[in-house]
Structure 1
Amino acid sequence: MVSSRVRRRRLVVGIAGGLVLTLLVGLGALALRLQGNISSEAIAAPTSTASAAAALDAPDPAMNILLLGSDSRDLAVGDYGEDTGTKRSDAMVLVHVSAGNTRAEAVQIPRDTLTDLSMCTDSGRGLPDDYGMVNGALNYGAACSVAAVQSMSGVQIDHFIELDFSGFQTIVNAMDGLAVCLPDDMEDPYSNLALPAGAQIIDGTQALALARTRHAVGDGSDISRLGNQQMVMSAIVQRALSAEVLTRPDRLIRFLDAVTSSLTVDTALANLASLTSLAHRMSQVPTASITFLTMPWTEAPSDENRVVPSEDAAVVFASLAADTPVPIAGAAEADPVAPVEPVRVEAVSVLNGSQTDGVATTTAGQLTALGYVVASIGDAETDTPTTVLLARDSDAARATAASLAQELGITIVISGEPDADAEDVVLIIGDDFASLGAPAPAAQAPVEVESRSAAADLCAR
């Protein structure tokens, strides 16, 4: 059953979506203005299964997005130092949205991470050194940042979104500030931060200072500030999805104008339809299922002041690549909101779309052993890729599709209404199933990592 809070949230989001469409249709000039705001930069075309699914117009495959916070000083507002003509990624977050929008993980990559930069192709700004800090790749273009993170993580990146200091401030101010809660007073003259302890509303300048401060936390390193960034990101999610923003036309228009004018995105995202689709997908993810976590790291052998991904980082990245939840030690105890268990429909139909006899029967037996009820076994047209079809697009059917993807160890394309007489969920086995359809690997031991649910109480330590 879907909780009343989730239903209310979806109702608010649905009303807001309708309001946005009405505004854009009724105010053509506004739509043109928002479209004209968007800046873009090309990256290499993704080749992942998720991207192939998107090319077939299948809704909601798994998706990976690289968020880049630029430290460029070429700004219209603010005093952040002299513009030297360079820019680096002051913050870098790899966001994974699961197939069916059941969860999202946002992995913060420390800017001091050393990695191979040789995968970058010439973006017109020259090529970086072969090995160096990952944050320096942005100086040669977003495509270099994407290539560096793909090479380091093994996760195929579908899109990027870049935001500079003044853009971050503008977006926060368009929401009339963020609600945060600090355990102690925080002061840092280097980032112009001066905030008292306790719950409070902060503006864009204060939010940026809180996210950037290093000297007010821990040992003053880049790693120390990542916890504050998790709190700020949680506050942004909670505020952006709140009724105070979504149901206020004045605030919502300011927010949309600020977002579109502040971002640089890849060319595939550089239109209102694509950005709206992405926003809609994120709005479907339960807030309690959005997890912020820091990439597990260890001291770099070549430099004690730099870091490299640890063995636990490989577990995190492998989970993202396989579209399975990241196993986080203590996550269930730390999360104040109980995780939502997948709801399985009563029946799954299994069809053989491969050229191998007996595959559907074998798979049906595996599904039964996993606790599913198999309603029927049959044949589909050959040369069909392994796919999950939804005859009725319900919450339960989507949960079942996501559960199948995880338990069978495959990436599943969710498509719409194959047959009015079919069961809610139909699993078609294709010739690709031999390589993709092996049982999921044994569960990895939970990783020790700093993490936070987007639904967590902002005052909770």
Structure 2
Amino acid sequence: MSSPELPTTHKRRRKPRRVWRGIGISAGIFVLVLAIAGGAIYAKFNGNIEDAPLGESIVEDDTPKGAMNILFIGSDSRDLKTSEYGKGTGSQRSDALMLVHFSKGNTRIDAVQIPRDTKTELPACEDTGSGAFAGGPGLMINSALDGGPACSVRAVEALSNVRIDHFVQLDFEGFASMVNALGGIDVCLNEAMVDPLAKLDLPAGKQHLNGKNSLALARTRHAVGDGSDIGRLGHQQVVMSSIISRARSTDVLVRPDRLFKFLNALTSSITVDEEISSISKLTGLAKRAKSVDDKNIRFITMPNGAAPGDPNRVVKTPDADTIFAAIAKDKKVPVKSSDATTKVEPTAPVKILNAARTPGLATTAQAALAELDYTVTGLEDSQKPSATTRIFVDSTPEALATAKKLNKNFGFKAEIIEQPTGMTGVWLILGADRIEAGITAVTPKPVTATTRTASDSLCA
């Protein structure tokens, strides 16, 4: 076995229907569209669907082929057939926005919840049937919806730099009707929740909710945390996960009466862009959603912080940009939950040796490794030049794991050579191949965010 080099001694047409919030659930419930048998029933459901313009994107069309981004929009409008939710005013704002990413190959679905109180610069939006929206700096993102769903799409594109392919909206009444058509949903609450404004009064523990109570749980602000928009997003994740689980269950799929009621409620309640405004198009989404395992359907609250000068509003943080960048490139979102104990992988110290004879290369590598929390113990020049990058490790499992992680994080594809004696930890030997290739992380450092998968235990 060869010895490591020793260092030297020096160093898109009808008017859109008014809608509800947080509709990420549709990614799961579209699965049921697959059961439609055609004929008169098909025509009925197809005729139920309303559409609205998507508008022109403001983001370059560079989404990897096969990936898809859908914006699920909700509204605080009370202009409904019923007065149960309050008196309508003729205007609307989004209570929540959810950017849902379908990966290429349908291996995962990532749904990013964007708090309605997010302040940002909103782009102007031309009249698409609901009135033009002027836009401007320092505005809350929920205000864009008053110009119609296309304006919300443009607002989220400007915030995220992610191109949006489609949108879906759902109203208060339709949400409650769909939950009832499913036979209700199961949830588990860590504590009792009471909010008279949302007409919510639920005990702690496992329980079965009808449509009205499910809606109240998703809507409540005052029964959780400090009464802010952020506090309720976790419960919306619970409700959406429960609906996905229920919609996929066998007893719904094999019950024609329940399935008919559900599909009728769904198609009567959604407003979508024109490109997916048919049962056949929605069936295509259903096939994609059906192929994704529950454990790979993940809800993520957009990382945020208090807005400058306004603690009652939020702005996105650099961690949010990391998440959006991964979605735009159809990469696995580098996020770890803030609600669970994160497993810390054992790592070994890394010594960096410059075998490329290029001044400053080791220093550049040190900065790149430090960004991903590697422990760098020293920088040295190698006694011998090398054309390729290699990694030497001692005989410990930690050293081998660290070497493999270096290859993964930086795309080195370096040979890993075990050296039982004469060294400790990991030696990263930078070869001449790094001069042009550089040293840049290809997998970013995981960011912390509130997350939940559709397969998580309700009482976790």
TM-score for both structures, normalised by structure 1: 0.69
List 4+ stretches of structure 1 deviating above 3 A.
Answer: 15-18, 330-335, 437-441
Q: Pick from 195, 216, 224 the counterpart of residue 209 of structure 1.
A: 216
Where does residue 77 of structure 2 map in the other structure? 72
Larger deviation, residues 268-277 vs 120-129: 120-129
Match of 2:455, SS? Answer: coil
- Taking only the aligned residue pairs, the percentage that are identical comes to 48
Where does residue 118 of structure 1 map in the other structure? 123
Q: Matched residues in 2 for 1:77 and 1:176: separation?
A: 22
Where does residue 412 of structure 1 map in the other structure? none
For residue 254 of structure 1, report the CA deviation from its aligned partner: 1.2
For residue 122 of structure 1, report the CA deviation from its aligned partner: 2.8
Where does residue 364 of structure 1 map in the other structure? none
Where does residue 33 of structure 1 map in the other structure? 44
1:166 and 2:173 matched: yes
For residue 50 of structure 1, report the CA deviation from its aligned partner: 4.4
For residue 199 of structure 1, report the CA deviation from its aligned partner: 1.0
Check whether the contact 2:221–2:227 (CA below 8 A) recurs between aligned residues: yes
CA change 1:118–1:49 in 2 (3 A) is closer
Aligned pairs (5 A) from 1:272-287: 272-287=279-294
CA change 1:319–1:44 in 2 (3 A) is same
Where does residue 347 of structure 1 map in the other structure? none
Check whether the contact 2:319–2:447 (CA below 8 A) recurs between aligned residues: yes
Q: Matched residues in 2 for 1:300 and 1:64: separation?
A: 27
CA change 1:45–1:80 in 2 (3 A) is same
Q: Report the AA paired with residue 449 of structure 2.
A: V
Q: Which has the higher helix share?
A: 1
Where does residue 186 of structure 2 map in the other structure? 179
1:326 and 2:330 matched: no
1:128 and 2:134 matched: yes
How many residues were matched structurally? 338
Where does residue 445 of structure 1 map in the other structure? 445
Aligned pairs (5 A) from 1:358-377: none
Where does residue 227 of structure 1 map in the other structure? 234
Q: Matched residues in 1 for 2:337 and 2:227: separation?
A: 26
Q: Deviations 1:194-219 (Å, cap 9, x if unpaired)?
A: 01111111011101110011111100
Q: Report the AA paired with residue 297 of structure 1.
A: N
Check whether the contact 2:135–2:144 (CA below 8 A) recurs between aligned residues: no
1:296 and 2:307 matched: no
Check whether the contact 2:298–2:454 (CA below 8 A) recurs between aligned residues: yes
Q: Matched residues in 2 for 1:152 and 1:100: separation?
A: 26
Where does residue 81 of structure 1 map in the other structure? 86
Match of 2:86, SS? Answer: coil
Q: Pick from 157, 174, 187 the counterpart of residue 164 of structure 2.
A: 157
For residue 407 of structure 1, report the CA deviation from its aligned partner: 11
Check whether the contact 1:128–1:137 (CA below 8 A) recurs between aligned residues: no
Check whether the contact 2:69–2:163 (CA below 8 A) recurs between aligned residues: yes
Where does residue 418 of structure 2 map in the other structure? none
Q: Matched residues in 1 for 2:453 and 2:150: separation?
A: 29
Aligned pairs (5 A) from 1:419-430: none
Q: Matched residues in 2 for 1:17 and 1:310: separation?
A: 38
Rg bigger for which structure? 2
Runs (5+) with no aligned partner, structure 1: 1-12, 54-60, 336-368, 370-405, 409-436
Check whether the contact 1:171–1:204 (CA below 8 A) recurs between aligned residues: yes
TM-score for both structures, normalised by structure 2: 0.69
1:97 and 2:108 matched: no
Q: Matched residues in 1 for 2:439 and 2:45: separation?
A: 46
1:238 and 2:245 matched: yes
Check whether the contact 1:111–1:135 (CA below 8 A) recurs between aligned residues: yes
Q: Deviations 1:154-192 (Å, cap 9, x if unpaired)?
A: 000000001121121111111111111111111000100
For residue 106 of structure 1, report the CA deviation from its aligned partner: 0.5
Match of 1:329, SS? Answer: strand
Match of 1:200, SS? Answer: strand
For residue 251 of structure 1, report the CA deviation from its aligned partner: 1.1
Q: Report the AA paired with residue 133 of structure 2.
A: L
